[in-house]
Structure 1
Amino acid sequence: MPARVAALWRHPIKSHGRESLDRVAFSEGQTMPWDRRWAVAHEAARTDGTSWAPCMNFSRGAKAPGLMAITARVDELLGTVTLSHPRRGEITFDPDKQLRGFLDWVRPLMPADRAQSARIVRVPDRGMTDTDYPSVSILNMASNDALSAAMQMPLSMDRWRGNILLDGLSPWEEKTWTGKTLRIGAVEFEIREEITRCLATTANPETGVRDADTLEALNDVFGHQEFGVYGVVTKGGTVKVGDRIEVL
């Protein structure tokens, strides 16, 4: 079976929900549109929101596992985001204008011993990815299957917070891609590096409760802590679910 795009996901507010898409128009040198468009700075953050900043400045699933159970929907015309959580219900708001309601909604998901969410930042024309360059995260579903088998439990791909999910590959095939070009239709991605994983992946994306030591399994069984790769768009165009892929 030829390797194909199995799913496309964006995360409008960094670490605060995921949204499934059927197609995405990528632009050269840019992140996925509306992916990590906003980020939630905590009260100890050292960023003024005018430029990219490291993930340590933001509320995220590695420190607050409850955030991992959020799902999101964007209304691009209105500029609003709807967040849903099994314990918090639903909220629709404009992240640029309606901070207080969001902070009240998210506060119960934040551990009391962690820096609390304080403000939402948005850098023009720059998604707040974990990398200091505009990246797209690309994941291999077969690698997730291999890890699930090793851990003897099903692992949702939602744990990995990816943008482009691929099937039809061999497990860990993506580990050979660094420095190569991934072509999907007319779109091309330069594969920059592997993604080293953090505690966020130990939380169940349905419940927000840590229930699987993914990091220990990666290290002990496979001898590494990577899952997926970061790519940079070098040739723009539209990617659709079902598109074939090619590694050059």
Structure 2
Amino acid sequence: MATVTSLWRHPIKSHGRENVAATTLIAGQTMPGDRVWAVAHEASKADGSEWVPCANFNRVSKVPQLMAMTAKLDDAGIVTLTHPKLGEISFNPDDDIAEFLDWVRPIMPQDRAQSKRMVKVPNRGMTDSDFPSVTLCNIASHRAVERALGMDVSVHRWRGNIWLDGLAAWEEFEWMGKDVRVGGAILRPLERTDRCPATNTNPETGVRDADVVSALDSFGHRDFSVRAQVIQGGLIELGSKAELI
């Protein structure tokens, strides 16, 4: 039986991470407060009417410095972002975001489509999967990647939601299509999370400093974590147990 060791949400896609002590999942939805908003660039076709692929948004794979951002979402919908080069900003992503666009501009590559507007889709977070998903991450798999790299790397490179300890490395890949009880919720992993060069970026500095993708290649795949659908909602908190049912 595995144990929940940490819970993370990312209020604005690719723009910061936030540690939470507990979350109450809702059937058929993403983790509350996770990827509620996404930052569309100048060439994006996203209009907020439906889910669209990540290519429509500015993200770490194209803007590495975004990885160094942390976030906090309060009950009033105010997001506070902090970055080592930019300082701190607090704003409501549903309002005029001109101040945010000015704040983030210094870390945007000049040869990259610039951030233009905030997108929010009704009743789901803007996850990379085309279904509302919650990612389950295995600390033993992370340690296997560290051994392949020959160095310690932060778990934040994976930008996952629920971290589990007590499993064998890559055991989570055996859960496809099976129901897993995590705390008071039931989740069903439906796909492995394919990885891109975003994971090569250091979450403290925003600098690409490790070839994580090549380390994954040594295991015969480029996947880390599993994307799960919430079948039954319920409370998950630090120390909650996770097991196949």
TM-score above 0.5: yes
Partner of 1:155: 153
Q: What do the CA deviations read for 1:97-138 (whole angstroms, capped 9, x no partner)?
A: 131110011111211111110000111211111011100011
Partner of 1:36: 35
Residues in 2 aligned to 1:53 and 1:196: alpha-carbon distance in whole angstroms: 17
Q: What do the CA deviations read for 1:40-71 (whole angstroms, capped 9, x no partner)?
A: 00000012111111100000001101000000
Percent identical pairs in the alignment equals: 55
SS, match of residue 165 in structure 1: strand
* Letter in structure 2 aligned against 1:70: M
1:205-220, aligned counterparts within 5 Å?
205-219=203-217
The normalised TM-score by structure 1 is 0.97
Q: CA deviation at 1:9?
A: 0.3
SS, match of residue 158 in structure 1: helix
1:22-171, aligned counterparts within 5 Å?
22-76=21-75, 78-171=76-169
Aligned residues: 245
5+ residue gaps, structure 2, are: none
* Letter in structure 1 aligned against 2:44: A
Partner of 1:228: 225
5+ residue gaps, structure 1, are: none
Q: CA deviation at 1:168?
A: 1.0
4+ residue runs over 3 A deviation: none
Partner of 1:17: 16
Residues in 2 aligned to 1:174 and 1:244: alpha-carbon distance in whole angstroms: 15
Residues in 2 aligned to 1:207 and 1:34: alpha-carbon distance in whole angstroms: 25
Q: CA deviation at 1:185?
A: 2.3
Q: What do the CA deviations read for 1:172-203 (whole angstroms, capped 9, x no partner)?
A: 11111111111112210011010000111110
Q: CA RMSD in A?
A: 0.8
SS, match of residue 119 in structure 1: strand
The normalised TM-score by structure 2 is 0.98
Preserved CA contact (<8 Å) 2:46 2:119: no
Residues in 2 aligned to 1:15 and 1:82: alpha-carbon distance in whole angstroms: 14
1:168-179, aligned counterparts within 5 Å?
168-179=166-177
